[in-house]
Amino acid sequence: MNIRSAVKSVGWSVLVSAAVACTLFADSVAAASHDFIVALRVSTKGLDLSQLAGAQKFYQRLQYAALEVCKPDVRVALEPVADPKGCMEKALGEAIRSANQPLLTQIYLETHTLREAAARGIEVTGQIAAK
């Protein structure tokens, strides 16, 4: 199962293409691959991402979006994700990377290692890493 995710900034909202690409198999002999994108729009409305409280609230919204797109009951007619936790971590990490907001990165690093951030392509400045 291939899993990928992205976040695109769209004015005051971020689209968490906490995009889960699913591989479906037609049958056990001849497999056909099809990618499907499951996406949620995550709004930044009413939040100031340059302030810690706003960044924390947005981080919670991103976590919830990652959970929603990776959980089995949302994926009607799609093959379940083999690793829901891995799917959620990948979706969240790529959302943080794409948002490219220093406070979001700092919040992410409270529960993730620098190595995990690097694996997700999250840019960590020396100032953030030192905190």
> What pLDDT shows up at residue 74?
59
pLDDT of res. 92? 94
Give percent of the chain with pLDDT exceeding 70: 63
Cα–Cα distance measured from residue 129 to residue 118, given in angstroms and rounded to the nearest whole number: 12
Which residues in 66-102 are b (16+ Cβ under 10 Å) and which e? Answer: bbbbbeeeebeeeeebeebeebbbbbbbbbbbbbebe
Q: What is the pLDDT of residue 129?
A: 60
* β-bridge pairing 6-10 and 40-43: unpaired
Interior angle at CA 87, CA 83 and CA 93, nearest 5: 145
Tell me, yes or no, whether 20 lies in a domain: yes
Mean pLDDT in the chain?
73
Residue 51: inside a domain: yes
CA angle 79, 98, 15 (to 5 degrees): 60
66's tokens: 């990652």
Could you tell me the residue range of the domain that residue 110 belongs to? 6-129
> Over 60: is that where the pLDDT of 18 sits?
no
Number of domains making up the chain: 1
Domain assignment present for 70 = yes
* Residue 43 is assigned to a structural domain of this protein: yes
pTM of the entire structure?
A: 0.70
Domain assignment present for residue 11? The answer is yes
* Predicted local confidence at residue 95, as pLDDT: 92
Under 8 Å CB-to-CB from 111, ≥6 apart: which residues? none
pLDDT for residue 130: 64
Average pLDDT for 40-48:
89
Residue 80 is assigned to a structural domain of this protein: yes
Residue 89 — very low, low, confident or very high, per pLDDT cuts 50/70/90?
very high
Does 27 score more than 90 pLDDT? no
Give the burial class of 120: count Cβ atoms within 10 A of its Cβ; 0-12 exposed, 13-18 middle, 19 or more buried: buried
Please check whether residue 1 lies inside any domain of the structure: no
User: Of the ranges 9-13, 40-44, 114-118, which is most confident?
Assistant: 114-118
